[in-house]
Amino acid sequence: MHINSSYTYLGMFLQEARDRMYSYPPPYWYGSYWTYVTPWLWIDGSKNGSYTYNTWANKIGQRLDVHSPFTITMWGDWHPAAGTGTIYAQFRNDSTVALTGKVLFVVTEDSIYKPAPNGDQWHNHVARDYLPTASGEVVTIPPGDSLTLSRAFVLDTIWNADKIRFTTWIQDLNMQPDTTIEIWQGAMLDIDELGIMEYTGGEVTAVNIKPVPNPCASSTRFAFTLPAGERYQIGLFDVSGRKVRVLAGTATGNEESVEWNLRNETGRRVSAGVYLYQFESASTHATGKVVVR
């Protein structure tokens, strides 16, 4: 996070990032008082990362070995011509107790080349925008349950869209004695992993996909209309991203009704839970979820 307001002329200062950093107690003891210094590694809610670069890889490696009570799955769509879109993230509580935490979303830009006063020339994963703010959203998720949140975004024309990444995380609300505010899990999604909504004649061509019923217990149907002769495919995935089933066909030009009988490719009925779908054709792309009882 570039929190130094003197970097405004470089186009990398973000007040939200500064507010986010100052929401933590200062990490560095400077002779007789605590203060903020940069660069500094804040790792999963802990201020104990230090400013010594050569220790960072080891600290991050140790943190990766810590078990997380959450699994996060991300997806989304965007309109390149307009620079707008929506990010979705599903937070699944894998623990045996209800957990209350704060969820944050941030847009970052990677590989920015701009010589700065401190000698740095390359700036990676720079915070560009918090969605909608750096204060986040407090949520409670029961054990074994999941919650899906969405955030709309707008890309500034001065950003390099090819280098944009979206990050989300869920964080404890309680500060530990060492001033750590534990981040339970995080996830990152590159912009090139988003579904693209195409423009035709200045308008977005989109299909309103709404599986009905949803939630479902025996089957659900996808209703949509496409030009006659256009091929379509509906991919169904579990929350870990594994493909469960593919439904495909050719549009007639009338309203289509495609049934999923809640069975996988081998014919076995899927377990209760949340499943993600991805609709693709030559003219459109859409994503969403199906809840199976």
Give the chain's domains with CATH numbers.
Answer: 5-196 (2.60.40.10), 206-292 (2.60.40.4070)
Terminal CA-CA length for the chain: 42
Cα–Cα dist 110/113, whole Å: 9
| 8 Å CB contact between 192 and 271 | no
pLDDT of the residue at 39: 81
pLDDT of the residue at 51: 85
Helix (H) or strand (E) holding 149, with range, is strand 146-154
pLDDT of the residue at 198: 54
Cα–Cα dist 29/37, whole Å: 10
DSSP state letter for 64: H
Phi and psi of 54, rounded to 5°? Answer: -70, -5
Q: What's the token pair of residue 164?
A: 């944009």
What are the per-10-residue average pLDDT scores of the chain (293 residues)?
74 86 89 88 86 88 90 89 87 96 96 82 90 92 92 90 95 93 94 70 51 88 86 88 90 88 94 87 79 87
Neighbours of 166 (CB within 10 A): 25
* Residue the block writes with tokens 């074994």: 144
pLDDT of the residue at 199: 46
Q: How far is CA 186 from the centre of its chain?
A: 9
